[in-house]
Structure 1
Amino acid sequence: MTELREANEPPAAQDVPLSTEPPTITLTPKAIEMGKKQLMEASYEAGQEFLGLRLGVKGGGCSGYYYVYDVAKKIRKRDKVWDFDGLRIVVDDRSLELLKGGVLGWEQKLLGYGFKWENPNADGDCGCGASFNVKA
């Protein structure tokens, strides 16, 4: 039986159309695994299903730009949506320009863990790797 949704309810993740063009970023298997885990935990804690994991870039940080990670609650016109082995990744087109060709991995160190970008567009980054400069 098909579940009916109220008109004001957001779409389920499987109902969100994927971008037709191939992804211009890559995720390592560990990043996919941990992204699924974090998305599942966030959905459980919030009591709602999220549409995917939103990756992005914002101005600021000690090097000019910094990476952002969040749950995707809605899909905007300028967003690209890709499926990486069951993990929906959402990236806005402005961020994608700064992430194009990048590889998102997962790093686990003695003092912490988290996502880590290998970004060919970055000229340099701060010591913690959370912010970066853009190549001129």
Structure 2
Amino acid sequence: MAIQLTAAARQRMQDFLAKEPSAVGVRFGIKRTGCSGFGYTVDLADAIAENDQVFEQDGLSIVIDRKALPFVDGTEIDFQRQGINASFVFRNPNATGECGCGESFTVG
């Protein structure tokens, strides 16, 4: 499997990358947080480490630590605007539960 981006998420990430030409891509991962256990992280990737997996989509590199990959493999990342709020939205087939706000998730 892989990580998939919607057109809106890809455009948002490309906008960030255009402002940081030294970045090699976007780093997607997880951290322990929230009321459900794990939260998603999205940052610019300064480098690709030996333990990273890189997915390419339309010229955009998505960098993921291999330790996080079992938790997020197959995730679709979208970017949505609702009124004055804007955020990435994650559709993760590995998640067995999410908190009410969608900020954290659990896996089986």
Query: What's the TM-score, normalizing by structure 2?
Result: 0.90
In the other structure, the counterpart of 1:30 is 8
In the other structure, the counterpart of 1:95 is 68
Equivalent residue runs for 1:87-126 within 5 Å: 87-126=60-99
User: Which one-letter code corresponds to 1:90 in the other structure?
Assistant: V
Q: Which deviations, in whole Å up to 9, do the C-alpha atoms of 1:80-136 show, x marking residues without a partner?
A: 11221121110111111111111111111124111111011111212221211112x
**Secondary structure of the residue that 1:97 maps to in structure 2?**
helix
Based on CA coordinates, which of the two structures has the bigger radius of gyration? 1
Q: Distance in 1 between matches of 2:105 and 2:42?
A: 15
Q: Distance in 2 between matches of 1:86 and 1:130?
A: 28
**Secondary structure of the residue that 1:24 maps to in structure 2?**
coil
Number of aligned residue pairs:
108
User: Which one-letter code corresponds to 1:129 in the other structure?
Assistant: G
**Aligned with residue 17 of structure 2, among 25, 34, 39:** 39
**Secondary structure of the residue that 1:80 maps to in structure 2?**
strand
Query: What's the TM-score, normalizing by structure 1?
Result: 0.73
Query: Hey, which of these two has a bigger chunk of helix by percent?
Result: 1
Q: Distance in 2 between matches of 1:106 and 1:117?
A: 9
Conserved? CA contact 2:23–2:44, under 8 Å? yes
**Runs of 4 or more consecutive aligned structure 1 residues displaced over 4 Å after TM superposition:** none
Long gaps (5+) in structure 1: 1-22
Q: Distance in 2 between matches of 1:125 and 1:108?
A: 20
**Secondary structure of the residue that 2:102 maps to in structure 1?**
coil
Identity %: 37
Query: Hey, which of these two has a bigger chunk of strand by percent?
Result: 2
Give the root-mean-square deviation of aligned CA atoms.
1.4
In the other structure, the counterpart of 2:40 is 67
How far apart are 1:66 and its partner, in Å? 0.4
Conserved? CA contact 2:28–2:41, under 8 Å? yes
Q: Distance in 1 between matches of 2:105 and 2:2?
A: 19
